[in-house]
Structure 1
Amino acid sequence: MNNQVSIEDVPLNGFHQLLSIRSGGGWVLDGYVLSIIGVAMVQLSSALDLSSFWQGMVAASALIGIFFGGFLGGLLTGSLGRQKLYFFGPAIFVICSLAQYWADSGAALFFFRFLIGVGVGFEYPVAGSLLVEFMPKKYRGPRLAMLTILWFAGAAMAYMVGNAILDSGRADAWRLVLASPAIIGAVLLLVRIGTPESPRWLLSKGRTAEAERVIKKVYGPSFSLKNLPEQPAEKKVSLLSLLHSGYGKRMLFVSVFWSCSVIPVFAVYAFAPAVLQALNLKGDWASFGSVIITMLFVVGCILATRLINVIGRRSMLIHSFLWSGLALLGLGIHSDGSQVLVLVLFGAYAVFIGGAQVLQLVYPNELFPAEIRSAAVGLGASLSRVGAAIGTWLVPISLQSIGVGNTMFAAAGVTLVGLLVSLALAPETRALSLQEAASLR
């Protein structure tokens, strides 16, 4: 009977749940390690006497690292497999987070956070590909969307834990803040032990016997390759050739919408206290505001995850960019407004951008075939971080030169670009199998 059941249609089992924890833990750590710099920035800038240039460079360094890590990780994941590189990111996080404790200059922090970014860049194609290639069709979208929720949960944890450490009053508190991700990284390394290789990747390399063994181990002895939708075997296809054959339009869409959804978010997280203070949220209002807004990002992602199979991918993306862009426009207009109004508008942005955030991992993992999936996801992550790194580097300069109101207008403009590209290019992949979604129909 199981010969008639595709693994795309099986119910969730214990392995799926464990794999969700293993991959999801990477996104908790990513959110934590990328956001923790915003918590420590004020103290470390003072302690190391950093200029606005080096503040921007330190804040953008991890994003620059993601550019290289995403591209390299995507290529290596496609050639070496998902399993071998599943431990690279957490190991880098542990080593470099600890190394930051002894950093004595902006250049040293830039170097260590650049390497952290490389590790984050690896996580996108590695953990994402493993999860999507094992997950049944019905649960694929929500589980990929869940990763974004976990990213923001990690970011919220960074602000809560980081502020608690800073409140201890220790002279080296900012160093402890930057070293704290090492604990989460060590736990993640242990949790990921025993993860199998993707049978889809094994089959794409012609390693059918190994793929068969993995399928039986994960789904049960009555399952076999007959239950796996047909995949290309020993087919040597490069990312470049597939882009020329019709996937270039999809790569353009993924890169642009991904960039437009992360540029304002990363800029906010790197300088949240400074941005909120510029918007008249000072003292405890700025600290509490950072946590509240982060929690509202989580709420927005949770709502989007619940709706992703209801309203579809395309509609969700369009509405996400539209309403979040209007919220940023409101912040630009009312940059000198009351603290309550600023929090309401910032909170609205956080909730509405959730749709675009969760689709960052859903769309690129669904729109490309197995043989280039990891490379395409890695390339999308890399290209999106170019704009994010530039935007983050410009934030302190922008706040000083053109003011917070015009900075918010610029962020709204970026969101508008995302809306226009989504209207023109966003496809609908709801209810399609992974093979159907990745085909050029």
Structure 2
Amino acid sequence: MAMTPATQQPPGTPEVPAHRARERRRLHTKLKLATQIGEGIDGYIIGGIGMAMTALTADLHLSTLMEGLVGASPLIGIFVGGPLFGRLADRFGRRPVFLADMLIFLVGSVLQFFVTDGLQLFLIRLLMGVAIGGEYAIGAPLLSEYAPRQGRGRLLASLEISWYVGYALATVVGALFADVDGGWRWSLASSAVIAVVCVSLRGGIPESARWLLSRGRREEAEALIERYGIEIDVDAELDERSTTGQAGFWALFSKDHLRSTVFASVFWAALVLPYFAIGTFWTQVFDALHMGDNAVAALLVYSFTAVAGVTAGCLVVDRIGRRRLLIPPFWITAACLALVAVWPHSTPVIVVGFLFFIFLNAASSALTAVYPLEVFPTALRATGVGFATAMSRVGAAVGTFLLPMGLDRFGVEFVLLVGAGVLALGGLVSQFLAPETTDLDLAKAARTARGPVSG
């Protein structure tokens, strides 16, 4: 199917006029920064609790139950925020939702400073989790709908780098405030600074041209395409609209989209469950492995190894393809956690096993900002991403909530074997359901996801 002249630039055609190229660069830069900072604040909010947990548990006199709830609260909130904001973005547009959820981050960040008990902190971080779910459902989909076909994987995967950088930065800030009386309040509330910057960037971001096409608003979409020189296969988008229509939430479970829904939900949940659970209660895990004296240094290494891993994933995602970046690391990381569980008293096994687990898990996690966006059509993209986000966080929340109790009752070996089993399940599901969508237009990628698996 042919692209419209304004969107197609095959070799040998004249370059985009200078004024349009400037407009496009300005928009792409602003949108990329606004989205990357949004992803960064997600990681910052989730990562900050790991370093603050010991101090706030003592100050607020948390029980083991409330400790688990506070640790899992953002992940529980994502379960609500992902589908809710995703459906709102598909129905009312990307632009208003993109701004509204960042305002929730700002308010929640400030309120954390003033909590006086565990229930208050749980409720505030639950609300912030709703906003995180909204960010996943709208930030990456909006960026993907303005991204060029080639290099789209690297661009979207760079959002995961921002997430891990935010996570690592929160760890550093938490360490700086660790010896300050009430320092956990300052470290948790510091996310307000990032939220202010992000809110200022999101003003003036235009609506998605692909979303406008999905709503039949072709003239408005083509005006944006003309103004910014956006690369869109308009015919494919319109064909996809005629197939999908104004589909609602339940279309995710229709025969056309069920495979994409199951795949995106399961692979994402399997990737993040062990990472979030172990990272949130890293000190307890290392104590159980009799390496508690090195827990703080190890958490810093954990965070920055993850940054290196997701960066590597970002660099290779468009070169080796989606399936190769996803499936082999699932099996390798499962083996790593299993080895640590089998030899829990061997320092070399613990160090090497965790380093490989963290690096490869983070490398594959680059695909959580890529695959879910490519397997759903435009009319369902934010809804599908929101639902997959929710399902991934259900798993992560359950793992985070149960980990401290699992350590107390069954021991670290059992906990690590469960993590290995979850990763192996992710590898099995991905082997059968993961499509290869590298370098395809978004509309064509969604159609490929409904066909037989290749590779």
Instruction: Tell me if TM exceeds 0.5.
Output: yes
2:317 maps to 308
How far, CA to CA, are the matches of 1:384 and 1:281 in structure 2? Answer: 30
Cα pair 2:147 2:231 within 8 Å, conserved: no
Offset of residue 344 of structure 1: 2.1
Residues 259, 4 of structure 1: alpha-carbon distance in 2 compared, 3 angstrom cutoff: same
Residues 67, 8 of structure 1: alpha-carbon distance in 2 compared, 3 angstrom cutoff: farther
How many residues align? The count is 433
Listed as ranges, the gaps of 5+ residues in structure 1 are none
How far, CA to CA, are the matches of 2:438 and 2:421 in structure 1? Answer: 29
1:75 aligns with 2:83: no
Partner of residue 210 from structure 2, selected from 200, 205, 226: 200
- Which moved further from structure 2: 351-360 or 45-54? 351-360
Matches of residues 40-439 of structure 1 in structure 2 within 5 Å?
40-167=52-179, 169=180, 171-219=181-229, 229-231=236-238, 235-241=245-251, 243-283=253-293, 285-338=294-347, 340-439=348-447
Residue identity in the other structure for 1:266: F
Cα pair 1:293 1:350 within 8 Å, conserved: yes
Cα pair 2:77 2:126 within 8 Å, conserved: yes
- Which moved further from structure 2: 6-15 or 272-281? 6-15
User: Structure 1, residues 316-366: CA drift from partner, whole Å, max 9, x if none?
Assistant: 11111011111111221222222x542222111011112431111211100
How far, CA to CA, are the matches of 1:204 and 1:313 in structure 2? Answer: 26
Offset of residue 233 of structure 1: 5.6
How far, CA to CA, are the matches of 2:220 and 2:375 in structure 1? Answer: 26
Offset of residue 306 of structure 1: 1.5
- SS of residue paired to 1:430: coil
2:7 maps to 6
How far, CA to CA, are the matches of 1:131 and 1:145 in structure 2? Answer: 11
Cα pair 1:212 1:224 within 8 Å, conserved: no
Residues 280, 5 of structure 1: alpha-carbon distance in 2 compared, 3 angstrom cutoff: farther
- Which moved further from structure 2: 231-240 or 37-46? 231-240
How far, CA to CA, are the matches of 1:322 and 1:279 in structure 2? Answer: 23
How far, CA to CA, are the matches of 2:195 and 2:283 in structure 1? Answer: 26
Offset of residue 243 of structure 1: 3.2
Residue identity in the other structure for 2:45: V
Offset of residue 277 of structure 1: 2.5
Cα pair 2:236 2:444 within 8 Å, conserved: no
Offset of residue 396 of structure 1: 0.7
Residues 436, 368 of structure 1: alpha-carbon distance in 2 compared, 3 angstrom cutoff: same
How far, CA to CA, are the matches of 1:227 and 1:205 in structure 2? Answer: 13
Offset of residue 241 of structure 1: 3.3
Cα pair 1:7 1:227 within 8 Å, conserved: no
How far, CA to CA, are the matches of 1:226 and 1:345 in structure 2? Answer: 45
Residue identity in the other structure for 1:141: G
How far, CA to CA, are the matches of 1:213 and 1:268 in structure 2? Answer: 48
Cα pair 2:43 2:165 within 8 Å, conserved: yes
How far, CA to CA, are the matches of 1:30 and 1:8 in structure 2? Answer: 36
- SS of residue paired to 1:13: helix
How far, CA to CA, are the matches of 2:233 and 2:345 in structure 1? Answer: 63
How far, CA to CA, are the matches of 2:416 and 2:284 in structure 1? Answer: 13
Structure 1 runs of 4+ with >6 Å offset: 8-12, 223-228
CA RMSD, aligned part only? 2.1
How far, CA to CA, are the matches of 2:224 and 2:399 in structure 1? Answer: 43
The TM-score, its normalising length taken from structure 2, stands at 0.90
How far, CA to CA, are the matches of 2:432 and 2:441 in structure 1? Answer: 23
Residues 366, 309 of structure 1: alpha-carbon distance in 2 compared, 3 angstrom cutoff: same
Residues 313, 279 of structure 1: alpha-carbon distance in 2 compared, 3 angstrom cutoff: same
Cα pair 1:165 1:176 within 8 Å, conserved: yes
Cα pair 1:264 1:388 within 8 Å, conserved: yes
Residue identity in the other structure for 1:393: F
Cα pair 2:309 2:363 within 8 Å, conserved: yes
Residue identity in the other structure for 1:387: G
State the identity %. 35
Offset of residue 217 of structure 1: 2.8
Offset of residue 227 of structure 1: 6.4
Offset of residue 4 of structure 1: 4.0
